[in-house]
Structure 1
Amino acid sequence: MGGAIKSFIEKALPFAAMVFVECGEVGMITLGKAAMNVGLSSLVYVVYYNALGTVILLPGFILHTSRNNRPSLTLSVLCKIFGLGFLGICLLQVSAYTGIGYSSPTLAAALGNLIPAFTFLLAVIFRLEKFNIKKATSRAKALGTIVAITGAFVMTFYQGPPLFNMNRNHNSHENLLSFSSQNSKWVLGGFLIAITALCSSSWNVFQTATVKEFPDQVTVVFLFCLFGTIQTAIITVILERNTNVWILDKRTEFISIVFAAVFGAAIRSSVITWCLRKKGPVYVSMFKPISVVIAVVMGIMFLGDVLHLGSVIGSVIIALGVYTVLWGQSREQKRVVDNENTPLLQS
């Protein structure tokens, strides 16, 4: 009986943890969108919440540095972490929240499913992943990548008619102008979020190489957040000429920044690291399509978003592509494990 309960907890806890992470990520995006709707600049939002995240990480970094003999920081490692900050915060987060400002959290969550596909492409390009067209698993991953990217194009360029839209304007001319303006912003937002997915995939590959060279995760994360905050702050000062954008005078702005700093900097990384250690990257990646459903529900409930047909069709296509890629990866991993265990069984 005790063994059965322990087995259930071991299976249920990682599942609950990943659902929690996806809910938190979509909540962070939704709150950020709400703050931008009331006037908060996307650049200022990224600077403030990463600055607060750096402050939250500082005590842990100081304790870690005093208690552990970490490897020495070389100029090469510092330059790579500096690059991680520029790629992961300046490009990735600024593009993400600017794109969300033009579109919706639903589109951001759906296009986030492109990350496994882009990661696979980059891994093949940099020869981190073996690709053999004769193998069914390689063909599945290639097909899944193409399908996922096709779904992203559908979501970006085909918004489609609204579903369950209760608000109807009888002035057809105003409706046409409004739709044209919204559609152009939607395409721009989708393009920026697609860039975000590509940046995220590149950052994953870059970060993996950096951590292998400098195996001190606490130091890397803290300096990455610090460097990225400084870089984004400098860019924001240059681009945002109006100093009033730095003034926070609405409750939604404070809540969104604090939640993003606490969840993004402290909780999310710890939970995902634990799940990766317990279940592996394939298991963690499988939960990404769930964020689409969560984003749709939160967007309709809290932002008054309208669900469009293009979002539904594109989400389904992307999910099919992602699961095809994950199926190919899981089959290859199973084959590797079987090959490693076969000599032991024979002996």
Structure 2
Amino acid sequence: MEGCRYYVVMILVQLAYGGSSVLVKLSLEEGLKPVVFVVYRHVMAMFLLAPFAYFLEKKQRPSISFSIAAKVFVLTLFGTTIHLNVYYTGLAYTSPTVACALSNVVPSLTFAMAVLLRMENLNIKSARGQAKVVGTLLCIGGSLMFTFWKGYLFQGFVEKPLISVYSTELKHGNENWIKGSGLILTSHIVWCSWLILQAVVCKVYPAPLSLTTLICFFASLQSSIVALFFARDQASWRLDSNVQLLTIAYSGFVSSALVYYLQTWCISYKGPVFTAMFSPLQVIIVALFSAFAFAERLHVGSLIGAFLIIVGLYCFLWGKKKDGLVAELTENEKGVLNDDKVLGISLNDIKVTNPVTIDPVTTERT
């Protein structure tokens, strides 16, 4: 039961990311600048996390050296400043469903990078290794099918949308659609590097709350510098609607504070590939939300794609679990061999200094 918490946490993370994608899209439609939004959300998250990090990890938190600060700075540059600013700029040109669908590159690219850097074990001749490869390919194929293959159109869950927004297809031309997809794809590639780097930083700074606070601090600083070039006028910093306020509050408290912490905690125990494999679930979550909130109708391709994503995720997690069992068995065998070796040395080194002999007839001590 204890091992299930990692799976539950990552499902909650994808739920949070799915809700954030929809809210941010609504706010961008109302004129919120992406670079301003990134600054606001991380400043809010930093002030929320700082007291908890200071008091709860006072004994656990290691001292910050220049080397650690530099690693966190680079980590933040990839994972928040570049990734989020490029992602939200691309989201302004496309839809949340397509943006989430393009995240299917995250599992495969993270898996490949982790294998090349020897952070992930892959024995392609074993069943567990083949399951991880097949699971990754199924997740990618399912995500693509979910988004781009339509087929039979099912009746919608609701007759009228709960939320009315402008249609992205009508507002943006094909050229902008391609531009948005390219920007989002670039942001996901940077995100894969962030997952790999975070696994490295977690080893030298094993304090998830404090690390998340530092990430939010550097993200606020870096994004503020970017905003000096792209959002100089005061009007860009003014929030004109309740949707924009709700988006910033949700993204600050949930996406940056809570989700960053949960993801950092999960990576420190399960590794970057385990975390990345849950990304395709975001496509299903956003599509289901859009079906109820925006009255979008699902296609047969959506259902088949969702099925492939779930099967692929199960295959990968099965292979990952078998890897853990094999690693644990190997460690136990090493421990037994070491114990036998130590025991053998100790028995051979025993010297009897005062032997006692027993007469078999008289049974008296001689």
What TM-score results when the alignment is normalised by the length of structure 2?
A: 0.72
Residue 253 of structure 1 aligns with which residue? 244
Residue 31 of structure 1 aligns with which residue? 23
Residue 139 of structure 1 aligns with which residue? 130
- The answer as to whether partners of 1:115 and 1:201 remain within 8 angstroms in 2 is yes
- The answer as to whether partners of 1:144 and 1:325 remain within 8 angstroms in 2 is yes
Query: What is the CA-CA distance between 1:56 and the residue it aligns to?
Result: 1.2
What secondary structure sits across from 1:203 in the alignment? helix
What secondary structure sits across from 2:120 in the alignment? coil
Q: Which has the larger radius of gyration?
A: 2
Query: What is the CA-CA distance between 1:88 and the residue it aligns to?
Result: 0.9
Residue 43 of structure 1 aligns with which residue? 35
Query: What is the CA-CA distance between 1:109 and the residue it aligns to?
Result: 3.5
1:145 and 1:19 map into 2 onto residues whose CA distance is 17
Residue 58 of structure 1 aligns with which residue? 50
Q: Which has the higher helix share?
A: 1
Query: What is the CA-CA distance between 1:246 and the residue it aligns to?
Result: 1.2
Residue 193 of structure 1 aligns with which residue? 184
Residue 351 of structure 2 aligns with which residue? none
Deviation per CA, 1:22-47, whole angstroms, max 9, x where unpaired? Answer: 33332222211111121111221111
Query: What is the CA-CA distance between 1:81 and the residue it aligns to?
Result: 0.8
**Residue type matched to 1:46 in 2?**
V
Choose the corresponding residue for 2:283, options 275, 288, 292.
292
**Structure 1 pair 259/157, CA: closer, same or farther in 2 (3 Å)?**
same
1:315 and 1:262 map into 2 onto residues whose CA distance is 29
**Residue type matched to 2:106 in 1?**
I
Query: What is the CA-CA distance between 1:21 and the residue it aligns to?
Result: 3.8
Percent identity at matched positions? Answer: 30
2:146 and 2:68 map into 1 onto residues whose CA distance is 39
Alignment of 1:1-347 (within 5 A): 19-63=11-55, 67-68=58-59, 70-150=61-141, 181-271=172-262, 288-303=279-294, 307=298, 318-341=309-332
Deviation per CA, 1:145-190, whole angstroms, max 9, x where unpaired? Answer: 44544555666777889765889xxxxxxx9xx6795554444433
Gaps of 5+ in 2: 161-166, 341-366
Query: What is the CA-CA distance between 1:319 and the residue it aligns to?
Result: 4.8
**Residue type matched to 2:74 in 1?**
G
**Structure 1 pair 21/212, CA: closer, same or farther in 2 (3 Å)?**
closer
1:316 and 1:108 map into 2 onto residues whose CA distance is 20
Point out the more displaced range, 43-52 or 128-137.
128-137
Query: What is the CA-CA distance between 1:48 and the residue it aligns to?
Result: 0.9
Query: What is the CA-CA distance between 1:70 and the residue it aligns to?
Result: 3.8
2:117 and 2:265 map into 1 onto residues whose CA distance is 28
Name the Cα RMSD after superposition.
3.9
Aligned length: 329
**Residue type matched to 1:225 in 2?**
C
1:14 and 1:210 map into 2 onto residues whose CA distance is 20
1:158 and 1:46 map into 2 onto residues whose CA distance is 33
Query: What is the CA-CA distance between 1:250 and the residue it aligns to?
Result: 0.7
Query: What is the CA-CA distance between 1:18 and the residue it aligns to?
Result: 5.2
**Structure 1 pair 327/113, CA: closer, same or farther in 2 (3 Å)?**
farther
Gaps of 5+ in 1: 1-6, 168-174
1:311 and 1:48 map into 2 onto residues whose CA distance is 35
**Residue type matched to 2:323 in 1?**
E
**Structure 1 pair 68/329, CA: closer, same or farther in 2 (3 Å)?**
closer
Query: What is the CA-CA distance between 1:261 and the residue it aligns to?
Result: 0.7
Point out the more displaced range, 265-274 or 127-136.
265-274
**Residue type matched to 1:34 in 2?**
L
**Residue type matched to 2:224 in 1?**
A
**Residue type matched to 2:211 in 1?**
V
What secondary structure sits across from 1:40 in the alignment? coil
1:69 and 1:44 map into 2 onto residues whose CA distance is 34
Query: What is the CA-CA distance between 1:330 and the residue it aligns to?
Result: 2.5
Residue 363 of structure 2 aligns with which residue? none
2:304 and 2:222 map into 1 onto residues whose CA distance is 38
**Residue type matched to 2:15 in 1?**
C
What TM-score results when the alignment is normalised by the length of structure 1?
A: 0.76
